[in-house]
Amino acid sequence: MYFFQKENRNRYFHSSRLTAEHLNFQHVIMPPSALDQLSRLNITYPMLFKLTNKNSDRMTHCGVLEFVADEGICYLPHWMMQNLLLEEGGLVQVESVNLMVATYSKFQPQSPDFLDITNPKAVLENALRNFACLTTGDVIAINYNEKIYELRVMETKPDKAVSIIECDMNVDFDAPLGYKEPERRPPHQEEPTEEEGDPSSYADMDMGFRAFTGSGNRLDGKTKGIEPSPAPLAPSDIKRGIPNYDFKVGRITFIRNSRPQPRKIVDDDDAMNRFIAFSGQGQSLRKKGRKP
């Protein structure tokens, strides 16, 4: 059994797994004797530790949650034990370390299901509040909407192991493991057929909403003189628009009247009866040729 010393600050414990409620945490629970030894050393706060499995040569970093474990036992989350390839009851080395503050990190989801989250950065930011540090190569697990998502830490800056306590860190995502981009199909352009130019082909076309459709009902119950209003459209009444062959990109043309209005032919009789303003003769109260 080794203790925290000034030279290496390490100690060995028997590992044990935490419950499922500590899934989103990256903290371990250590015995009170470890706190007694650490308080006598010149260490920085918050306390950060390096966990090493000598049998598999795997290591990770974490913080401490409480010092309430049984003597000689260290409780770890299950996903941390998987990163260390550590079985329950195995021997783990705990070493006090100082880590640099993180500035950048990159994650790779281990399943394409992570793309179903509406705002993955916000979910990850909320989950990392329970983490103390990140180690390149680790696979962290977060719980969101009663579903567990695993993310691999692909890159961290400025070091391979960084502290994320009270830091401003840029986060980036890599393509999920097993993700395949959808194939892009070129748009298929169909050539116009001869039936498109035939007005009879529009007979079965849905004309959309037409106001005041239907037929009326008389109070006496007779159906004489009742016709549907408005009258149904004939295929010849349906006319297609004429394309603007002079169209230019960046230019908008406003067409006020699509058809020129025919000029009315005025007859000679109508010209004579045309209204003329201030026409006619005036009347005087005095008679001409009579002196007062």
Mean pLDDT of the chain: 76
Q: Could you give the 3-state DSSP secondary structure of residue 115?
A: helix
* Residues spanned by the domain of 59: 27-97
Per-residue pLDDT at 268: 56
The CA distance from 81 to 78, in Å, is: 5
- pLDDT-derived band at 2 (thresholds 50, 70, 90) equals very low
Q: Is 157 helix (H, G, I), strand (E, B) or coil?
A: strand
Tell me which amino acid residue 53 is: N
> Does residue 125 surpass a pLDDT of 80?
yes
Distance, in Å, from the CA atom of 139 to the CA atom of 78, rounded to the nearest integer, reads 11
Domain presence at residue 228: no
Report how far residue 132's alpha carbon sits from residue 62's, in angstroms, rounded to the nearest whole number: 6
Of residues 176 and 1, the one with the higher pLDDT is: 176
At 202, give phi and psi (nearest 5°).
-90, 5
Distance spanning both ends of the chain, measured CA to CA: 150
Structure confidence at residue 256 as a pLDDT band (50, 70, 90)? low
For residue 290, being part of any structural domain is answered with no
**61/112 same-domain check:** no
Q: 111-129 burial, b for 16+ CB within 10 Å, e for fewer?
A: beebeebeebeebbeebbe
Backbone angles phi, psi at 82, to 5 degrees: -70, -35
Q: What is the pLDDT of residues 78-88, one digit of tens each?
A: 888 888 988 88
- Mean pLDDT, rounded, for 51-75: 89
Query: In this predicted model, what pLDDT tens digit does every residue of 181-228 receive, in sequence order?
Result: 777 777 665 555 544 545 555 445 545 556 666 677 777 777 766 666
Residue 94 is encoded by which pair of tokens? 């705990």
User: How many distinct structural domains can be found in the chain?
Assistant: 2
108 part of a folded domain: yes
Residue 81 maps to which CATH number?
A: 2.40.40.50
| DSSP tag of 196 | G
Domain boundary among 173, 197, 215: 173
Whether residues 72 and 92 fall in one domain? yes
* Among candidate residues 53, 74, 97, the one where a domain is terminated: 97
CATH number at 154 reads 3.10.330.10
21 pLDDT above the threshold of 50:
no
- Same-domain status, 46 and 81: yes
Token couple for 264: 């009315």
Is the peptide bond prior to 46 cis by the omega test (within 30 degrees of 0)? yes
Question: Is residue 167 domain-resident?
Answer: yes
Whether residue 84 sits in one domain with residue 65:
yes
- Sole residue written with tokens 């998502």: 149
pLDDT above 90 (res 276): no
Query: Do 86 and 115 belong together in one domain?
Result: no
More confident residue, 44 or 50: 50
Q: Which of 49-53, 97-101, 205-209, 246-250 has the lowest mean pLDDT?
A: 205-209
Q: Is the residue at 235 inside a domain? A: no
Q: Please give the pLDDT value at position 265.
A: 58
Residue 160 lies in a domain: yes
The string of DSSP letters for 19-58 reads -GGGTT--EEE--HHHHHHHHTS---SS-EEEEEETTTTE
Q: Is residue 50 part of a domain?
A: yes
What global pTM score does this model have?
0.55
Whether residue 134 is found in the same domain as residue 155: yes
**How many Å apart are CA 246 and CA 253, to the nearest integer?**
10
Cα atoms in the Cβ-side hemisphere of radius 13 Å centred on 42:
2
Q: What percent of the chain has pLDDT over 70?
A: 67
Whether residues 78 and 108 share a domain: the answer is: no
Q: How does pLDDT run across 170-184, given as a tens digit for each residue?
A: 999 998 888 887 777
Q: Is 3:36 a contact under the CB 8 Å cutoff?
A: no
Of 229 and 54, more confident = 54
* pLDDT of amino acid 248: 83
288 within domain boundaries: no
Domain final residue pick, 97, 121, 155: 97
pLDDT number for residue 61: 92
Tell me the mean pLDDT in the region 20-25.
52
Higher pLDDT, 185 or 159: 159
Statement to judge: residues 90 and 32 lie in one domain? yes
Residues 128 and 74 in one domain: no
Rg of the chain taking only CA atoms, in angstroms: 44
| Confidence at residue 88, expressed as pLDDT on a 0 to 100 scale | 85
